[in-house]
Chain A
Amino acid sequence: QSALTQPASVSGSPGQSITISCTGTSSDVGNYNVVSWYQQHPGKAPKLMIYEVTRRPSGVSNRFSGSKSGNTASLTISGLQAEDEADYYCCSYIGSSTWVFGGGTKLSVL
């Protein structure tokens, strides 16, 4: 159950778009459309931003979008805002009723 691979950090300026990748294998990300993304501000619980690769929960800004290609899922944030600065985690179902998270990515809005 190795963690999914995410870049440790990404940055962007207000108004720009950024993409965070989440790389797994053909046994997890590549095999199931059960990838979700979470935003976590310091000292707070994670917040669901994307589920089932592309679906956005009610109340989440449409600036957040998800996609997947092969063994890599991606979270794109468009029109970056200061409040988007946070840690982001991907998560994938990996079979046998188990899940695994990515290592997390720190987003800095410059």
Chain B
Amino acid sequence: EVQLVESGGGLVQPGGSLKLSCAASGFTFSDSVIHWVRQASGKGLEWVGRIRTKANNYATTYAVSMKGRFTISRDDSKNTAFLQMNGLKTEDTALYYCTRHPAGFDYWGQGILVTVAS
């Protein structure tokens, strides 16, 4: 069974940092492109960014609003992807999902809440 489990969320002050993890199981993680998507409370889905596989040099791309502040990485030996978020703003408060994309985002984690507030 394919599973994606996010962790590492919580409350952080504006300007602070947080690192989310996405633990995967049930599929060949090292062959999979992993994306992060977020959703503010009561709002729509927003694509954050993605990381490709080793064969594609772990290339990353990001949404414009997050470029330079967010960094996606992965540890294939641990079947885990990460989202490092720096310079957090109140508008980054959201539920963050990791998902994989072979053709469409076919499996999603349950999401992890990040709250940016003083």
Contacts and interface: CB of A to CB of B under 8 A. Distances in A.
B26 interface: no
Given A46-B45, A52-B103, A98 B109 contact: no
A89 B103 contact: no
B59 A46 contact: no
Contact of B108 (A46, A96, A98): A46
B27 interface: no
A1 B44 contact: no
Contacts, number: 60
Contact of B47 (A47, A50, A99, A103): A99
Contacts of A72: none
B46 A101 contact: yes
B104 A51 contact: yes
B108 to A, nearest CB: 4
Interface of B: 35, 37, 44-47, 50, 59, 61-65, 97, 103-106, 108-111
Interface of A: 1, 3, 36, 38, 40, 45-48, 50-52, 55, 57, 89, 91, 96-104
7 contacts: A3-B44, A36-B104, A46-B108, A89-B44, A91-B47, A97-B59, A104-B45
